[in-house]
Amino acid sequence: MSETVEQNEKPSKFISTVLFTCSGISNTGKLTDIAAKTLSFRKPGLFRTIPAQKGAESLEDAKKEGELIFVVDGCEEHCAKKKLEVARIEADMQVVLTQIGIQKTNPSDIKSEHIELVVSALNNAVKCIQK
């Protein structure tokens, strides 16, 4: 397993994947939300996005339905993951953008190639957990 993705125990079955994004103010925080929404748009039956600002309690139904929960954090501050921990919800996997090669900079530094890099990393993470 790559060090860029943290994985917990594999679920036996799932309906879809919920991408719980940090959606912070920096470029990496904004990229979590943009990339997750892009993936949800491209594969609506497989992915849906919930920003961390909505609160971890919005994930209660996801766990009941057997969905995977992926935390998508922008940096090592792990804002989205911390919200889950407070709510005592465990993510199935975490992807951190700064660990996949995106440098945290100013809010307007969002590039289309970064969006595609994150989308690809999330797709690969799903494939990895399904095996």
Domains of the chain plus CATH, in order, are 5-130 (3.40.50)
Output the CA torsion 80→82→83→85 (10° steps). Answer: 130
pTM: 0.84
Per-residue pLDDT reduced to its tens digit, 99-121: 999 999 988 889 999 999 999 99
Give how far Cα 72 sits from Cα of 58, 128, Å.
16, 16
**What is the reported pLDDT for 56?**
84
Residue 19 CA, chain-centre distance (Å), reads 4
Among the listed residues 65, 75, 76, 62, the one whose alpha carbon sits nearest the alpha carbon of residue 20 = 62
Higher pLDDT, 65 or 34: 34
* Angle, vertex CA 23, rays to CA 21 and CA 28, nearest 5: 100
Indicate if the pLDDT at residue 14 is higher than 50: no
- What's the mean pLDDT in 62-71? 86
Q: What is the pLDDT of residue 130?
A: 67
Q: With bands split at pLDDT 50, 70 and 90, how would you rate the model's confidence at 41? A: very high
Please report, to the nearest 10 degrees, the dihedral formed by the alpha carbons of residues 102, 104, 108, 110 taken in order: 10
The structure tokens listed for 118 are 């994150």
Q: Are strands 93-96 and 68-73 parallel, antiparallel or unpaired?
A: parallel
pLDDT at 6: 56
Rounded-to-integer distance, Cα 70 and Cα 49, Å: 10
Q: What is the helix (H) or strand (E) element at residue 5, kind and residue range?
A: strand 5-7
Residue 15 confidence (pLDDT): 59
Query: What number is the average pLDDT over the span 5-30?
Result: 74
